[in-house]
Structure 1
Amino acid sequence: MSKKYTLTAALPYANGALHLGHLAGAYLPADIYARFLRRQGKDLAFVCGSDEHGAAITIRAKKEGRSPQEIIDHYHALNKKTFEQLGISFDIYHRTSSELHHKTAQDFFLQLLEKGDQFEQKTTEQYYDEDFKQFLADRYIQGTCPKCGHEEAFGDQCEKCGSTLSPTELINPISTMSGKTPVLKETTHWYFRLDQHEAWLKEWVEKGQVDGQQLHDPSQWRKHVLGQCLSWIEGGLQPRAITRDLDWGIKLPIENAEGKVLYVWFDAPLGYISATKAWAEEQGKNWEDYWKGEDTELIHFIGKDNIVFHCVVFPAMLKAAGDYVLPKNVPANQFLNLEGKKFSKSRGWVIEQHQYLQDFAEFPNKEDALRYALIRSLPENKDGDFKWEEFVALHDNELADNLGNFFNRVLSFIKKYSAGKLPAADLDLLIQGSEVGSESSYKKFCQTEILPLVERLEKEIMAFELRQAIQTVLELSRLGNGMFQNNSPWKVAKENPEAAEVQTVLALGVQIAACLNILLEPFLPFVAKKMQELLNWSADLDWEGLKAKLAAGQSLLAVGHALAEPKVIFAKINNKKDKRWSDLILQQEQLLQDRLKALEAEAKRKAQEEANQKRLPEIEFDDFTKVEMRLAKVISAKKVKKADRLLEIEVDLGNEKRTVVSGLAKFYTPEELLGQQVVMVVNLKPRKLRGIVSQGMILTAENPDGSLSLLQPWKGMQDGALIK
């Protein structure tokens, strides 16, 4: 049986439009890899689809007064169409609301249930939103992280410090649905015994081995993927709930489970399998060959927020079921930012994929211009950034001036000096290569200049180094431009257009252009198709055939082959004679600036509103008299070890000295506090903070932006003075 490849791209939620961060995170890298495998002639299933269950769908439906089905139908169609328009070449884009997926997920659950040791039932308290009358999924609870103090941590993870959390660990939890404090309510659920898989998962992630069999090479996995997985495993795996109390989702296929549906994290990855089943049925193939074959590679393309689900949880599910292959690699990307700030749909700091296509409807090569800009900023090992200024620079300097310029020169020279047809090359004629003074024959140029770039590109793509790979492609066009410039065929052609020197250089230019066409297709498929039309060929040569011809120094196109009329592929954005596209970019930049101002204004408004709402219950005068406040002078201050916000401060109250631990480190340096007179509550019960006994509280005023300022007493007051 021939080797099979199963590529999956993270199933996007069908509760909203996708933005550029999603495209760069999973779908564009997956498409490049899939297109390259097809060029190699590999047997491939590239699957994706809409994730259409879970609380996110029901929440949006309730907020908009629509049914969940209406929500998923709308966004499934929108996202599917957008992927097609951007050239994302899924073999199938399926849906988890399909009957086939429901049956696949239910059968998988029953298969694990029959084993008798993979599930357990537990009754626990979970957060419940009384306004919406709904138990809350982890992602719909926010609060303060107990580990780093970040105030917008989710119920399953703090995205600031990366800590894995449970909802009940959050400080001051709030329902994102109603904005109110949820209540704890008892409920019974089924739990997957993830803890039973801890030992083999650690060995598999860390060493790539399971039961002594080498399944993957850990050195080929990205460091942040391995690090996150091992951190999760070493923290101790716990049983994980696989059901939820919802009226929307895949019903549990057992008795006495009314109102229970499969939790979306259990249901969604099985969507890869159901999508493969649907595709295989259409193609007359056996789906199991792509999930259970001995010589099958499973590769997941995801963002870093999905790492543990695809590298820990889903592999445990697959192994528990038996016979399934485990991922060969999970090249998870980090996050793409927008103009230096994190994409945020809720705050409006976003460029949605379909909106870009609408705004740039008339822009030539709009799809590949975007693909190229994103490829050049792919967040492979660290967060990337999309900027309109860089979009323009990359398009004009690299696509237009390098790639487009070379291709136009090839066609123009062939038309002018060879009547539009590929001339015969003198294979042994010496020509100057990419650098002045380096000489080689046509054949040797193919072998020593072009072929190494092709082989390097192959290694880079197979290692998921796509940012570097696109640079290698552009290096080939730079090589072609250099070859033309160094040989200057137009000079010789003035005397004799049919000279061997002219014809050989032109033939080599066509050879580079045809090779470039093949190399470029995985990255910029729309431009590659235009190039095929200009070269007047199908570019159906497979990868090994390409390398073989280059190694032999053979022409990719036949002598006498007629090329099409020259056309400009990339119209520059910065064009003094035509301001349409530069004006469009300016509009996009202004739109972002307007959004940023609106966001800043909204943030200030909310901060002021929250400050105004911070009112404590009324107290009696006798209560107030119980608080003793006095003036004190700061005589020393230093930072508390391993605590970013805390300072250890020694104060003089006139007749005694005390130590106070205060959260002022972000607003004052120790040096700024020295000699300052502060207002202090002195009869507060002492308590230990970070091993230091704090003997009072320094009073501050909180500004609308959350910053703190010391209360400044009137000059001339004595230390220890009582405040009444």
Structure 2
Amino acid sequence: MGNFNRYLITAALPYANGPVHIGHLAGCYLPADIYVRYLRAKKADVKFICGSDEHGVPITIKAMKENVTPQDVVDRYHKIIGDSFAAMGISFDIFARTSAPIHHTTASDFFLKMYNDGLFEEKESEQYFDPEKQVFLADRYIVGTCPKCGNDKAYGDQCERCGTSLSPDELINPHSALSNAVPVKKATKHWYMPLQNYEPWLKEWLLEGHKDWKNNVYGQCKSWLDSGLQSRAMTRDSNWGIKVPLPDAEGKVLYVWFDAPIGYISATKELTPDWADYWCKDDTKLVHFIGKDNIVFHCIIFPAMLKAHGGFVLPENVPANEFLNIEGEKVSTSRNWAVWIHDYIKDFPDQQDVLRYVLCSTAPETKDNDFTWKDFQTRNNSELVNNLGNFVNRTMVLTHKLCGGKVPRFHEEVADDTDREMLAAFQTAKDSVEASLEAYRFREAQAGMMDLSDQGNKYMQKKEPWILAKVMEKIKAGTPVDGYTEVDLPALQMKIDNCLHVCLQLMANLAILTHPFLPFTSRKICHLLKVVDRMLEWENAGSTKLVNVGYSLREPELLFKKIEDDMIAAQVEKLHAGLVKPAAEAAAAPAAAEKPAAPAKAEIQYDDFAKLDLRVGTIIQAEKVEKADKLLKLLVDIGTEQRTVVSGIAMHFNPADIIGKQVTLVANLAPRKMRGIESQGMILMAEDNGKLIFVNPAETVAPGSGVS
């Protein structure tokens, strides 16, 4: 666990403008909870911090749409989100609010310290302004027609129909979402943090000091730093948020991404008077759990803020996950393509651990992954019911049937290598799970726990205590049994005792090892064994003496229930029935259906196609080409070498988001100079209604693999 005396674990503050869905859980809250439960089991001094992010444009847009105040919105969703987390066993020490007075004070003081130290630049710029409402407009408050797909409901930052990233200048016929007026540009003053001043320090601290971070995190950070940082406004024009604490800042608030991470600090202040021990002492290990869309804020901007302010510890790790898709499609809250946690709790009461298990099993730790209801059913029925649940139930039933419901003795005189190997496997499993947890490999850790349960099933199947019991019954009844007589009865009972003693000790070990992942199931096992919570301390894992001989056990109860096909069909139907199709998309649908396919090109011979050298490559760097809005400069690993490729996809992709993506490269295309950069190949793309999609293999393959 390293040389740390305390642990400060944070999970990204969710926006209080809607409920939380399974993508949120898989992204950061579940892995954070697993890690914290493990640390607590090790008796570490740990604080688990989270809260709702109650400022920013999404809140005010939600309020505007519902014709209520922003405070009404955050009050409602703070409770819904908090209740959902609690129901799923996400064990925060505090779930705070950025609208709380303690946070306003903390964030204002933080800003003032930097301001008084001369760390901000004051700049005047022109921004869009609503002449009717007399307010400045964030990009999301500007609506117009998308220049790419014709959607007339596109926002000033993105078209939600085709996914294109936009700026208000690119919209056709832009208008204010507040009044429908045509926005005008007006000068406004803001305070900027010159992030470029922190580049040398960030490169040393992050790129040199944290090469052990996950590849997706490190790669995205390197891309940002290699592209060069620029000054970033830390204030906004708005009436909702933390007011800029300066006399000449009327109508201005702190930028939400300045105030939100400070929420970790204010929440810790609210939690404990010893908050400074966790934030200001060098022997604290600070770990941020986030999704990949928050990497730049937690790995570059917030550390730069902490460094500039001074006196705070910096994150030791930021194990960000990628995105979780649902049934092959990206989660979309606006289209209601999501599995909401509060809905799951209603539909599957007392089955929180099933969802925890499935989300951990399919966690997008290194790449985007997919949740399907069919996989959910299969994992429950095949792995939880038939593996873990089956082992625990068989152990309990057989103990009651063959040993009077009490923990039998272990008899060394009849023990064999199979017994001893099974007992030794407890410590091996503990070491394996622990190593994986320490490395933030939660899928691997959970699989290690389940492997011990699988070994238990195989051990019991090999020992067959029920067969030995039948042999004993026949001998007692006077029925001849080959190789056995009455003199063998004590030895046969001792063998049964040994098997069930080992299984009960294994069951107790499973209670400890499952607790970080399946806390509700862990406590059910403890209930069956009639043991206290203290047994769940990590130091007890691996022990072969967790349940005492002669101790009476409770009657068997099933840990998991089989999920039937009709339940899954109902969830799939619910998902599709709730899908909201944007008005622009619905209007465009008939035209799209009538749109003729692209005309076929002239026929070629096989030999023509064979001239192409198509290879799978992995994007390892991506950056915008200076003074070229449409071009990205990519560095693509094709196994034997790394190629520089200039591609006209900048309007469709954020450079940081495509690092690690696999692509198909035309590797023998003659080099061509574009904007002074020699492009050594061409990336194959598919176009779907204006949206560009990488042509890549269905499964990850080694860079350089040929395509034929």
**1:146 Cα offset (Å):** 11
| Structure 2, gaps ≥5 residues long | 473-488, 595-600, 615-624, 632-647, 650-672, 676-686, 692-708
- Give per-residue Cα distances to partners, 1:360-403, cap 9 Å, x unaligned: 34xxx321111111111111111111101011000000000001
- Aligned to 1:186, the other structure's residue is in SS state strand
Aligned positions of 1:395-410 closer than 5 A:
395-410=380-395
- Aligned to 2:47, the other structure's residue is in SS state strand
The amino acid across from 1:310 in the alignment is: H
- Structure 1 66/593 Cα, relative in aligned 2: closer, same or farther at 3 Å? closer
* Counterparts of 1:371 and 1:11, CA distance in 2: 20
- Give per-residue Cα distances to partners, 1:114-147, cap 9 Å, x unaligned: 211x101100012335576543335556899999
- Structure 1 177/345 Cα, relative in aligned 2: closer, same or farther at 3 Å? farther
- Structure 1 395/500 Cα, relative in aligned 2: closer, same or farther at 3 Å? same
**1:56 Cα offset (Å):** 1.4
Q: Which residue of 2 aligns with 1:586?
A: 569
Q: Which residue of 2 aligns with 1:14?
A: 16
* Counterparts of 2:231 and 2:76, CA distance in 1: 35
* Counterparts of 2:311 and 2:14, CA distance in 1: 27
Q: Which residue of 2 aligns with 1:430?
A: 415
- Aligned to 1:122, the other structure's residue is in SS state strand
**1:352 Cα offset (Å):** 1.2
| Structure 1, gaps ≥5 residues long | 209-216, 432-438, 575-581, 613-632, 647-661, 664-688, 692-702, 708-724
* Count of aligned pairs: 595
* Counterparts of 2:403 and 2:310, CA distance in 1: 64
State yes or no: 1:388 paired with 2:365. Answer: no
- Aligned to 1:268, the other structure's residue is in SS state helix
CA contact (8 A) 1:143 1:170 kept: no
* Counterparts of 2:70 and 2:582, CA distance in 1: 33
Aligned positions of 1:84-233 closer than 5 A:
84-116=86-118, 118-129=119-130, 133-138=134-139, 167=167, 177=177, 182-208=183-209, 217-219=210-212, 221-233=213-225
- Give per-residue Cα distances to partners, 1:580-602, cap 9 Å, x unaligned: xx323211112234356x64997
Aligned positions of 1:630-641 closer than 5 A:
none
- Structure 1 635/41 Cα, relative in aligned 2: closer, same or farther at 3 Å? closer
* Counterparts of 2:153 and 2:43, CA distance in 1: 47
CA contact (8 A) 1:608 1:704 kept: no
- Give per-residue Cα distances to partners, 1:470-506, cap 9 Å, x unaligned: 1111101101000000111122223148622111111
**1:545 Cα offset (Å):** 2.6
- Give per-residue Cα distances to partners, 1:229-253, cap 9 Å, x unaligned: 1111111111111111111111111
- Give per-residue Cα distances to partners, 1:435-490, cap 9 Å, x unaligned: xxxx3444x5323x221111010011111111111111110110100000011112
* Counterparts of 1:591 and 1:455, CA distance in 2: 42
State yes or no: 1:603 paired with 2:585. Answer: yes
**1:312 Cα offset (Å):** 0.1
Aligned mate of 2:48, from 43, 46, 49:
46
**1:171 Cα offset (Å):** 6.3
* Counterparts of 1:175 and 1:376, CA distance in 2: 46
* Counterparts of 2:176 and 2:337, CA distance in 1: 19
The amino acid across from 1:503 in the alignment is: D
Q: Which residue of 2 aligns with 1:537?
A: 531
The amino acid across from 2:551 in the alignment is: H
Q: Which residue of 2 aligns with 1:270?
A: 262
Aligned mate of 1:414, from 377, 399, 405:
399
- Aligned to 1:526, the other structure's residue is in SS state helix
CA contact (8 A) 1:373 1:391 kept: yes
Aligned mate of 2:422, from 445, 449, 462:
445
* Counterparts of 1:6 and 1:121, CA distance in 2: 34
- Aligned to 2:282, the other structure's residue is in SS state coil
The amino acid across from 1:295 in the alignment is: D
- Aligned to 2:534, the other structure's residue is in SS state coil
Q: Quick one: higher RCO (CA 8 Å, sep 6+), 1 or 2?
A: 2
Q: Which residue of 1 aligns with 2:73?
A: 71
* Counterparts of 1:428 and 1:79, CA distance in 2: 57
- Structure 1 607/100 Cα, relative in aligned 2: closer, same or farther at 3 Å? same
Tell me how large the CA RMSD over aligned residues is.
3.9
Q: Which residue of 1 aligns with 2:315?
A: 327
Aligned mate of 1:366, from 326, 351, 354:
351
**1:349 Cα offset (Å):** 1.1
Aligned mate of 1:561, from 551, 561, 566:
551
State yes or no: 1:488 paired with 2:464. Answer: yes
* Counterparts of 1:207 and 1:157, CA distance in 2: 35
CA contact (8 A) 1:427 1:441 kept: no
CA contact (8 A) 2:151 2:584 kept: no
- Give per-residue Cα distances to partners, 1:673-717, cap 9 Å, x unaligned: xxxxxxxxxxxxxxxx979xxxxxxxxxxx99569xxxxxxxxxx
* Counterparts of 1:222 and 1:352, CA distance in 2: 28
Aligned mate of 1:501, from 495, 498, 508:
495
When structure 1 is superposed on structure 2, of 244-253 and 586-595 the one drifting more is 586-595
**1:419 Cα offset (Å):** 0.8
What TM-score does the superposition give when structure 1 sets the normalisation length? 0.75
The amino acid across from 2:512 in the alignment is: I
Q: Which residue of 2 aligns with 1:353?
A: 341
CA contact (8 A) 1:141 1:173 kept: no
Q: Which residue of 2 aligns with 1:257?
A: 249
CA contact (8 A) 1:518 1:539 kept: no
